[in-house]
Structure 1
Amino acid sequence: MTDYRFIKVSRAGDVVTIALNRPEKLNALTPALFGELGDAVERAVAEGARALVLTGEGRFFCSGADIAPDGAGYEGLPEDLGELLDAAYNPFARQLAALEIPVVSALNGPCAGAGMSIALAGDIVVMGEGAYLLLAFVNIGLVPDAGATWLVARSAGRARALEMALLGERMGAQEARAAGLVTRVVPDDAVLAHAQELAARLAAGPTRAMGLIRRQVAFALEQGFEATLDVERDNQSIAGRSGDFAEAIKAFAEKRKPQFSGF
């Protein structure tokens, strides 16, 4: 795998794990880190990965944006934060949303600000019992970004999104699951292993259908029932011609478990 400065990348079978790797900075985000994330995801897909795991090194998943210069080339936040979002944050958010393979987030620790945006972008979110979510933006006079507004409001609803964004208070793991923001809560020392097990299961599945499912759910969140019926029809036409569907039919006839290839 390619060596990076701010992230770690590993592969097991068809699962690629990408870990934010600035533990001394609580995995705070910089443009350079986003550049490495984007490159790593692109490479993983190009090299045939069928599922991704996103996690963090150390005791935090991510503390959000790095707001202070570090004396080693990072100059801190620019005057126009909107330009920063356009240049670094939003391209990665769009890249994750457009993936054709599933993403599992492994929240090994607290998750704040734009780090929460990255975490909740996962299709399945596994959270440690001791972790928490924090829309911290209001605490420093900013607004949620990198997709956090959409992700929280769509998952937890208007009232909860406004409460989290306006008060800037921590939300524990069990409350986050009850609110529909995360999928599973497990002991802190089991987060990564559990996420990787789920990713391995997804990677062994019908990858093309999963990519269609990702897009189909995103479409349904924005469109009405009739339009969604049409998208389901179109996607089913594609999935019905896939090699994985043919394999499933053959396996059913032969009374065995299908062996999906992802095509």
Structure 2
Amino acid sequence: MSQPSAPTPYPNGTYPAEDLTGRAAVISGASSGIGEALAHALAARGARVALLSRSGGGPDLPGALRLAVDVTDSAAVDAAVGAAAAEFGGLDIAVANAGVGSYGGFLDVPRRHDTEMVATNVTGTINLYRAAVPFLLERGRGDLVTVTSEAGRRGFPGEAVYCATKFAQVGLTRALDGELREHGIRATNICPGGVWTNFAMGDGRGRQHGSTQVEDMMRADDVAELIVFVLTRPRHMRILESALRPMSEQQWG
């Protein structure tokens, strides 16, 4: 029996990266931090972006939609994603970036923070993907990108409930990869370590501006560029998970 021939190598300098021009993306938690940085990065590459946030804010980008929506409200998310799909003529990319955190001993973190983390990080991600996946299925291709955390890959002391929500996101995204791959939809977990944003600042959430721990963290643009890398890989391959950490952050486990 003859052996199948090997794929033809890519000619030097012509790696077939995906062109994002005209691609339609929805990003949750897009008014600041990683979501804002990603909106700029995608728009710079010609993508059309819908920015979902509780405030309805976000960067003023050409052609961008800024939609006020609480990701914990499934009906509101359905309406916002539907509005984006109607405006753009469909969807290609959904990025679940909205998230909240609170750090401290398990018995010290207020219960209201536990409830908020589960509702935003877990239910919010589910709501976004339930709204977006039908449009990706219509397209016959697309990408789901979950901005989760290194805390979704290993348990850290002082972050018990936060870790639980991030493990849930990782499991959801990995399961969706198994379900949706045959439909041309890729599902990727992005797992950053510490990123310098307003995340987990104030209200006793465990981060303080000016501390070395915060100032030495990665920047939102670092994560945004990694997401762009994932989205621009050729369609015959998928990246299931990518983890990144600042050089100052110690290794755990």
Normalised by the size of structure 1, how large is the TM-score?
Answer: 0.31
Normalised by the size of structure 2, how large is the TM-score?
Answer: 0.32
